[in-house]
Structure 1
Amino acid sequence: MTTVERIHVTENERQIFDLLLRAVGNFSPKTKLRVAGGWVRDKLLGQDSSDIDIAISNMFPRDFLVKLNDYLCSQGEDEVQGHVIESKPAQGKQKPPLETVKMSLYNHSIDLVHLRSDVYAGDSRIPVKVEFASPEEDAFRRDLTINSLFYNIHTGLVEDLTGRGIDDLKAGRIATPLHARDTFLEDPLRVLRAIRFGARFGFTLDEQLKEAASSEEVRVAIAGKISRERIGNEIDLMISGNRPITAVNLLSDLKLLGLVFALPASSEPAPSENCVSLCRAYMEAMWNLIQTPGLVNLSGEQIRHAMYAALLLPFRKMVYKEKKRKSAPVVNYILKVSMKRKSSDAETVRLLIYTVPRGDSYR
């Protein structure tokens, strides 16, 4: 579905699009270019976006970069420096790979990708097969309807190929293009992304999505298919975001807090019955302090540490036995093992929980 929704394109963005259109018209007139995902979503919400992903209809990103540079050279212009990021499919060396080219045009960071469909199997969230696809197929394979929108730079029009993206955006609803259960079982990281975007925009989670996200089979998939580091990265983005309380409340409502912030089997004493309520209450109190004008002036990193300290404060008295049978704070385990955060993060949060900070470092 092509819509007449208007998008404000800045002068810098227009320069980028015009150059790409001239280039592709020169070396591959049948190739179509679309801006995908976040840029379209944010523009429709009236927000600025530096996240430009160009989806190419019929060409690998690295091949496109080569032809783009050939065109630039023919026009007496400097070549574009690009970095190829390649991720092999889950099984063997099957082609084509998951490929992205990161480059810069007119001081703007751009990712080049190709329209694709993915085939999943087994216990991996990495596709076992990647194929070139139509714009419709690419839209439906994406995580959320609001992230499946395209801006066709040839026509200047928004393409809502799932038929739901713009309606969900206007309604403030987080939903998946396909059935939520199937979407999450293919790649359970999408559960955490749905929560993060829901919190970020203050949107409501679709009922089907909530039912799938809180199901036992999806919980098993989250534990089995996603690395702890990837889980930690998503939680970091939530905690560092504009609505960390909302994100934690959603995790709690979907019964995912215990899965994300997993405790060691040997921990003691057992968490109190009202542990989750305390976590939420302490976080809310900390967030209110941070948001009070003129009270504190913290950097983004200090806010992240402070919010983790508040969240994990109910675990202050809990310990567990490390491999050498030495007692250690459960807080360390949650941050270093369950979330794979840096040792410096764990140490800073531990100090905030167990000691009173001195000096001006957190004032």
Structure 2
Amino acid sequence: MIGRLNKILTAEMREIIARLGRLTDAPLYLVGGPVRDLVMNRKILDLDMAVEADPADLGARLAADLHGTVLVHPRFHTCKITTPAGTVVDLAQTRRESYPEPARLPVVEPGASIADDLARRDFSIQAMAMRLNGSDAGQIVDPFQGRRDIDRRLIRILHPNSFRDDPVRAFRAARYSARFGFRLERQTAAALRDLTRRPEWLRIASDRVMDEWHRAFEEEKWIAALRALGRMGLLAWLGIRWPVDLKALRRMDGSFKTVRTWYDPPTPFPLWASRFVAFLSLVPAPVRLRIGRSLPFSKIIKKPFQAAVDAARLATTLNADLRPSRIVDLLERVPPEWMPVLHARAAGRARRHIQRYIYIWRGARPPVTGDDLRNWGVPPGPAYPRLLHRIRAAALDGRIRVPEDIRRIVERAKI
């Protein structure tokens, strides 16, 4: 396995593991998702590691060696190291966890063995570790038969109360099933159905639900992830009835790929947020408003979330026979991050209007400036923006053919 690991890891990741092996004699392990990806021969993006020692000092020394940064979380005995190249290392002390009541954060007991640490995890495919130092380097620790479940393409919880302890695991089950094409093992599926009938299901902190939504919409197979969430009954937390219009979502997905290429530089709005707004534009307005009240939207998504309420209305307006100036007036107020949603909701004439706006009219300016108006005897003041807007509209609509046409608009405004 060491040979396969070295082929999958980047050179920097291999150097990080080597440095940590030199910095500590305590047992050090690769754990969780990276081991799953190693077994499945998938690319490893970040390093998730556990050590049978306090990670704070070890993380600080590693960050200093790499000229990176370290963020320590003493409550959970974890730290996150980020290298200048952007590689992220999550380093945690092996620990036990217990849940004093369902749907609440666990009580952490540090100083456990790797077997205890794996027993606290969500699914068997996540409950594997690989020893990275010492005479057992390269050995896979797999007490819950995660490799067998990968071969059988199964998502399996480790104990019957897993979803009740942490209902957010249900969202992860949906994401993993969509990402890998796995199905829920029979008792796992029964436990999830039981969860959605219990009050614990509604006690999940809204910020944790928002984080899971974020992750679901970041998935490459995000529509499959939504389908899994719907079929498992997990959209009920937000009051969304399944099914939604999957054909519309697929059209929107195509629009994201198209519309995001229209902007140079590309819109900084995250793709996951565009997808989220697109999905919300398909649910009934009362449900959308309830979601807006119940989830802690960040600043980056709050404005386009509110704008999504008007997507269908604007798409209908754009389907009329409109002058270019009216199209520009309507679309220049639309933030770039909302344009994929609008493009996907539009059809026929409305979609052609959007494309012409992007390729021809976007950023249109009047053919004259305020200095020109002053030279023509128009006194500076609040009339300037209105007059320049009128001149731009005339230019867009083809009503300005010679400079005298502009002078006539100005003269009429002075009367």
- Classify the TM-score, shorter chain: 0.7 to 0.9
The question of whether the paired residues in 2 share the 8 Å contact of 1:192 and 1:234 is answered with yes
Amino acid at match of 1:63: D
Amino acid at match of 2:293: V
Deviation at 1:55, TM superposition (A): 0.5
Amino acid at match of 1:170: D
CA distance in 1, matches of 2:49, 2:273: 35
CA distance in 1, matches of 2:278, 2:37: 31
Match in the other structure for 1:341:
297
CA distance in 1, matches of 2:275, 2:83: 37
Residue 65 of structure 2 corresponds to residue 82 of structure 1: no
Q: Which moved more, 1:237-246 or 1:183-192?
A: 237-246
CA distance in 2, matches of 1:289, 1:80: 38
CA distance in 2, matches of 1:296, 1:4: 40
CA distance in 1, matches of 2:270, 2:70: 34
The question of whether the paired residues in 2 share the 8 Å contact of 1:62 and 1:84 is answered with yes
CA distance in 1, matches of 2:290, 2:231: 23
Residue 288 of structure 2 corresponds to residue 331 of structure 1: yes
Q: Which moved more, 1:10-19 or 1:294-303?
A: 294-303
Amino acid at match of 1:191: A
Amino acid at match of 2:16: I
* Shift in alpha-carbon separation, 1:5–1:173, aligned structure 2, 3 A: farther
2:243 aligned counterpart, secondary structure: helix
CA distance in 1, matches of 2:167, 2:152: 25
CA distance in 2, matches of 1:66, 1:346: 40
Superposed CA offset, 1:155-208 (max 9, x none): 4424232241112223322112x22x3111111111111111221222222222
Query: Can you give the 5+ residue segments of structure 2 that lack an aligned partner in the other structure?
Result: 316-329, 341-415
RMSD of aligned C-alpha atoms?
3.1
Deviation at 1:114, TM superposition (A): 0.7
Pick from 14, 31, 38: which aligns with 2:33? 38
Amino acid at match of 1:134: S
Matches within 5 A, 1:102-113: 102-104=80-82, 107=85, 108-113=87-92
CA distance in 2, matches of 1:314, 1:19: 50
Amino acid at match of 2:56: R
Q: With CA pairs under 8 Å and 6+ residues apart, which has the higher RCO, 1 or 2?
A: 1
* Shift in alpha-carbon separation, 1:216–1:187, aligned structure 2, 3 A: closer
Amino acid at match of 2:217: I
Residue 198 of structure 2 corresponds to residue 239 of structure 1: no
Match in the other structure for 2:175:
196
Residue 331 of structure 2 corresponds to residue 358 of structure 1: yes
The question of whether the paired residues in 1 share the 8 Å contact of 2:177 and 2:183 is answered with yes
CA distance in 1, matches of 2:84, 2:259: 40
Point out the structure with the larger helix share.
2
* Shift in alpha-carbon separation, 1:220–1:22, aligned structure 2, 3 A: same
Point out the structure with the larger strand share.
1
Residue 248 of structure 2 corresponds to residue 282 of structure 1: yes
TM-score, reference length from structure 2: 0.65
TM-score, reference length from structure 1: 0.74
The question of whether the paired residues in 2 share the 8 Å contact of 1:175 and 1:209 is answered with yes
Q: Percent identity?
A: 23
Query: Can you give the 5+ residue segments of structure 1 that lack an aligned partner in the other structure?
Result: 87-96, 264-274, 320-329
Superposed CA offset, 1:67-103 (max 9, x none): 668xx8xxxx6776422123xxxxxxxxxx3121122
Amino acid at match of 1:149: M
Residue 48 of structure 2 corresponds to residue 60 of structure 1: no
Give aligned pairs, total: 310
Pick from 213, 219, 226: which aligns with 1:248? 226
1:277 aligned counterpart, secondary structure: coil
Match in the other structure for 2:154:
173
CA distance in 1, matches of 2:244, 2:47: 40
Deviation at 1:308, TM superposition (A): 3.5
Residue 256 of structure 2 corresponds to residue 262 of structure 1: no
